[in-house]
Amino acid sequence: MAASGELPVVDLAPFFTEDGKGCIAGASEAVLQACQTHGFFSVVNHRVPVELMARALELSAAFFALPNEEKAKVRAAEGSKVPLPGGYGRQPAHVADKNEYLVVFDPKLGLNAYPAGPAGFRETVEECYSKFTELGLLIQEILNGCMGLPPGFLKNYNDDRSFDLMTVRRYFPAAAEESTSIGFSEHEDASCITLILQDDVGGLEVLKDGHWVPAEPLDGSIIVNIGDAIQVLSNNSLKSATHRVVRKPAHRHSFSFFFNPHGDRWVEPLPEFTANIGEAPLYRGFLYKEYQQLRVRNKTHPPTRPEDVVDIAHYAI
């Protein structure tokens, strides 16, 4: 396990090659350590084509350069199961974060309108979605082993992909006269796993031991972080890390894929981390969609007091 800045980097090559099987244990141990210490790590040799990643970032920049009225034509299909607004949006004036975004669901659920250009944007976004889903399934399998769970447990527990989503995001440049340059306020992800593809502008930071650690861009890498669902299932053994995005002098582009449990899935500490080892559960159980709805409300109707923002501590015992 190496480090980019101070974040761990894990080579996934052993999971794809016959002659690498002897190295799987070491790679899995590296993932476990990263999840326990940082909650974040970068992966290389992940089988998401670098050409696709480069094309995706290039076309997303072209999309966000379109006139607002063109971008606003992108809307989610009716009847989506995911309780989040789909399609194009930008942070409203009363929100401190400074970015605009496109929320994408499974292509089978669809977006019912795309702008005329840029050419190839829709196909590229959907290919990214498919490749990120494959990578999420692999990371989940690795976590299953790291957590000491029965073979296939997480695969069976999290077997419905209809609550996954991806956000394509552009952060506005920081201006010299601004007193703050926050592009996305500090938070943790509600997901099981989040995958992040970022350009070379930088700005993503992870909170560790009271200090903000830059998640420096590393050519060909994808950043992985553990979300609240895994933190609860593991009874805090694995860490859902606080992170933020600080704006730079240039636009920043990123793709974030949220590998989520189905909304009707019950989330609570597993017996492998509680009763089986004599530990008390640190969280009460909840339906995932209820927590996701509370998290959405943080953004759509921001509380007047910071202490009223709902995070996973809402369910702490």
Is residue 55, in this structure, part of any structural domain at all? yes
pLDDT of 310: 85
Classify residue 294: in a domain, yes or no. Answer: no
Q: Are 195 and 223 within 8 A, CB to CB?
A: yes
Q: Are strands 222-226 and 266-267 parallel, antiparallel or unpaired?
A: unpaired
What CATH number corresponds to the domain at position 88? 2.60.120.330
Q: How many domains does the chain have?
A: 1
Residue indicated by tokens 């969609």: 289
Q: What b/e readout covers 174-196, taking b as 16+ CB neighbours within 10 angstroms? A: beeeeeebbbbbebbbbbbbbbb
State the catalytic residues: 252
Task: Round to whole Å and give the CA distance between 199 and 253.
Answer: 6
Cβ within 8 Å of residue 201, ≥6 positions away: 217, 248, 250, 251, 252, 253
Which pLDDT belongs to residue 61? 96
Q: What is the reported pLDDT for 87?
A: 83
The answer to whether residue 181 is domain-embedded is yes
Calpha distance 314→291 (Å, rounded): 9
Q: Which residues contact 236 (CB under 8 A, 6 or more apart)?
A: 282
pLDDT of residue 287: 97
Q: Please check whether residue 280 lies inside any domain of the structure.
A: no
Q: What is the pLDDT of residue 57?
A: 97
| pLDDT tens, residue by residue, 274-290 | 999 999 999 999 999 99
Bridge partners for 206 per DSSP: 213, 243
Query: Rounded to whole angstroms, what are the CA distances from 101 to 183, 193, 254, 266, 317?
Result: 12, 20, 10, 29, 35
Question: Does 225 reside within a domain?
Answer: yes
Q: Is 65 domain-assigned?
A: yes
Residue 251 lies in a domain: yes
CA separation for the pair 233, 140 (Å, rounded): 13
Kindly indicate the confidence band of residue 79, based on its pLDDT and cuts at 50, 70 and 90.
low
64 or 180: which carries more pLDDT confidence?
64
d(CA 201, CA 316): 37
* pLDDT for the residue 106: 79
Phi first, then psi: give them for residue 206, nearest 5 degrees.
-120, 135
Mean pLDDT of 21-34: 89
CA distance 158 to 140: 9
Residue 308 lies in a domain: no
Domain that holds residue 102: 2-265
